[in-house]
């Protein structure tokens, strides 16, 4: 296990002088307005993230939160509910920071499509901003169903809440999914841009708040060990997995309109693929980074609908057992059609047509009710071209694997072969591991801290641009078009690693999925 003997020391410069790390910028004074503030996301993630930013002294004193939703709360009752929900879900928060942020939470009850409610909201924002000295900056978080995005932005524009002037900024955070296909994504973008400009729009993907994802850029471009090997000459293939043990829970109605392919692939998994495959940006700024990411998406080889079965697997979980607990099948979940053909599992094989990656497949998969909760990027290297040990019992080594673990345990591991001590020539795979919690004194986080902070300082590096959204939808549109009358997805047992057809997708190429802790 890698340990951090020097982790408390300041970094040294080339001449040996110690240089203090640059402090992170405190967020701009502002009022954060959360639409859909009575939902789980606010209680479980957003307010705890703000408390953690308070703990880390990254929020200014001139800051406040206004919640907006239909539920009948007051300033006092919404604070009480948030406190109860944090306790219920076991959210780990420093108590003093939690109290400080709760005292800055306010509430407006109203319908999202009611112009009168926005007048009440405007008055509340102005009162709160004056009370806390938050000035004229506004950040709006749309923690609501995607069908309401356009309505809310339109109402913000009509109420004069989206206009930027006299150095005051107005920014809007939009949760995924951004559209349900390419035409709807384009239509939504056009609707929102009747009110907002692109620099005002922050399309959030909470995966990018994970430290391992952010560290991928440093890992690749800040070290000279791996980047020379990061290409088709040395890498056999790449696997990107987002596996969940939970089912659809209470989201059956939504999931029936989405499915695994729409819900996870164009957003989370394509973001991870782009960061893994992109070239080094010329500068470490938002546009330079996103320029390189979108190039990867544009380079993905077009998928042909008639060959969808060769490159795609759709699956749906049936009843099964996990950790000794009986689990119902998807069609028995609340809000799900008993004859549903919606997939809860999707696997894709993609090829990137550029100089670095030509001929190197990227295998992506995501699913619910799988054997283990795990999100990871696995870089599988090629076998050596000459087998020195062909006349021994070591006829074939396990491939070297570099694995970036994104959740639940963030870190990086490298697997390679080593000789077993003793007589004879025997080999076993061993690992070198780096774990964030072991090496750094990292504080508990929700994954939203960095993203919210970046919004408040105007850094769009970790947020998706409109052309990135379109490019992602363009890749999977042939698959969606081929499913106008979808066949029944392949069945898999809840608690397994998915349908056997997904294993066959890999087996045809002489490869296999990483279905184990290694």
What pLDDT, in 10s, does the model give residues 486-512? 678 999 999 999 999 999 999 999 999
pLDDT tens column, 213-245? 888 888 999 888 999 999 999 999 999 999 999
Domain contains 364? yes
| Same domain flag for 166 and 213 | no
| Same domain flag for 312 and 388 | yes
pLDDT tens column, 107-127? 999 999 999 999 999 999 999
| Same domain flag for 166 and 237 | no
Q: What is the pLDDT of residue 354?
A: 96
Domain contains 19? no
Half-sphere exposure of 452 (CA within 13 A, CB side): 29
| Same domain flag for 160 and 272 | no
The Cα 395–Cα 393 span in angstroms is 6
For the chain, how many structural domains are there in total? 2
The percent of residues in the chain predicted with pLDDT above 90, rounded, is 64
- Find out whether the peptide bond into 282 is cis, omega within 30 degrees of 0: no
Here the CATH number for the domain that contains residue 136 is 3.40.50.720
| Same domain flag for 277 and 334 | yes
The Cα 406–Cα 175 span in angstroms is 20
Task: Give the structural domain span for 41.
Answer: 30-175
* Residue 491 vs residues 315, 320, 331, 374, 499: alpha-carbon distances, Å: 6, 11, 11, 21, 6
Q: Which of 116, 151, 175 is the last residue of a domain?
A: 175
Domain contains 512? no
The Cα 232–Cα 361 span in angstroms is 9
Domain contains 15? no
| Same domain flag for 236 and 117 | no
pLDDT tens column, 87-99? 876 677 888 999 9
The answer on pLDDT for 517 being more than 90 is no
Average per-residue pLDDT for the chain: 87
| Same domain flag for 295 and 409 | yes
Domain contains 140? yes
The Cα 206–Cα 45 span in angstroms is 10
Q: What is the pLDDT of residue 443?
A: 65
User: DSSP alpha helices (H): ranges in 300-402?
Assistant: 308-311
Cross-strand bridge partners of residue 365: 241, 347
| Same domain flag for 330 and 398 | yes
| Same domain flag for 434 and 293 | yes
Secondary structure letter of residue 301 according to DSSP: P
The Cα 79–Cα 100 span in angstroms is 11
| Same domain flag for 268 and 318 | yes
Q: Give the chain's largest Cα–Cα span.
A: 83
Domain contains 376? yes
Active site amino acids: 268
What is the token pair recorded at 451?
């993203």
Give 25: exposed, middle or buried? Use CB within 10 Å, 0-12, 13-18, 19+: exposed
Q: What is the pLDDT of residue 518?
A: 39
Q: Which of 134, 153, 175 is the last residue of a domain?
A: 175
């Amino acid at each position: 296990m890698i340990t951090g003997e020097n982790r408390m020391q300041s970094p040294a410069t080339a001449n040996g002088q110690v240089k203090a790390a640059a402090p992170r910028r405190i967020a701009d004074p502002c009022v954060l307005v959360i639409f859909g503030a009575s939902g789980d996301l606010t209680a479980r993630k957003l307010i705890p993230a703000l408390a953690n930013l308070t703990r880390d002294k990254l929020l200014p004193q001139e800051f406040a939160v206004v919640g907006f939703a239909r539920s009948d709360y007051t300033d006092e009752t919404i604070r009480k509910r948030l406190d109860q929900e944090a306790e219920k879900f076991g959210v780990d928060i420093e108590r003093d920071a939690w109290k400080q942020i709760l005292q800055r939470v306010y509430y407006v009850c109203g319908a999202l499509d009611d112009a009168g409610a926005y007048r009440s909201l405007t008055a509340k924002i102005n009162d709160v901003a004056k009370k806390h000295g938050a000035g004229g900056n506004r950040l709006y978080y749309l923690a609501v169903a995607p069908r309401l995005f356009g309505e809310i932005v339109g109402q913000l524009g009509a109420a004069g809440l989206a206009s930027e002037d006299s150095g005051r900024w107005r920014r809007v955070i939009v949760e995924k999914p951004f559209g349900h296909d390419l035409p709807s994504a384009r239509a939504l973008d056009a609707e929102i841009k009747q009110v907002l400009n692109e620099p005002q729009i922050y399309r959030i993907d909470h995966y990018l708040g994970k430290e391992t994802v952010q560290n991928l850029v440093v890992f690749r471009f800040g070290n000279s060990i791996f980047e020379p090997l990061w290409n088709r000459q040395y890498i056999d293939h790449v696997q990107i997995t987002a596996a969940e043990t939970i089912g659809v829970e209470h989201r059956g109605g939504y999931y029936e309109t989405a499915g695994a392919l729409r819900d996870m692939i164009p957003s989370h998994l394509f973001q991870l693929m782009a960061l893994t495959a992109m070239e080094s940006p010329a500068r470490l700024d938002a546009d330079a980074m996103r320029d390189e990411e979108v190039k990867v998406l544009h380079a993905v080889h077009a998928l042909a609908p008639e060959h969808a079965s060769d490159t795609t697997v759709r699956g749906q979980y049936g009843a099964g057992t996990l950790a000794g607990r009986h689990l119902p099948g998807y069609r028995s979940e609340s809000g799900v059609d008993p004859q549903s053909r919606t997939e809860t599992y999707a696997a894709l094989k993609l090829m990137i047509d550029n100089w670095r990656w030509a001929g190197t497949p990227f295998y992506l998969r995501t699913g619910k009710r799988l054997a283990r909760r795990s999100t990871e990027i696995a870089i599988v290297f090629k076998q050596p071209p000459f087998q020195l040990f062909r006349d021994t019992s070591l006829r074939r080594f396990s491939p070297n694997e570099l694995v970036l673990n994104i959740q639940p345990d963030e870190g990086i591991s490298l697997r390679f072969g080593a000789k077993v001590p003793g007589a004879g020539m025997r080999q076993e795979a061993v690992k070198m591991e780096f774990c964030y919690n072991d090496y750094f004194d990292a504080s508990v986080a929700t994954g939203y801290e960095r993203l919210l902070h970046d919004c408040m300082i105007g850094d769009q590096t970790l947020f998706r641009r409109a052309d990135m959204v379109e490019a992602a939808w363009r890749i999977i549109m042939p698959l969606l078009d081929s499913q106008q009358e979808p066949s029944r997805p392949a069945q898999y047992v809840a608690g397994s690693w998915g349908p056997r057809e997904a294993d066959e997708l890999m087996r045809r190429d002489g490869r296999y999925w990483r279905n184990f802790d290694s």
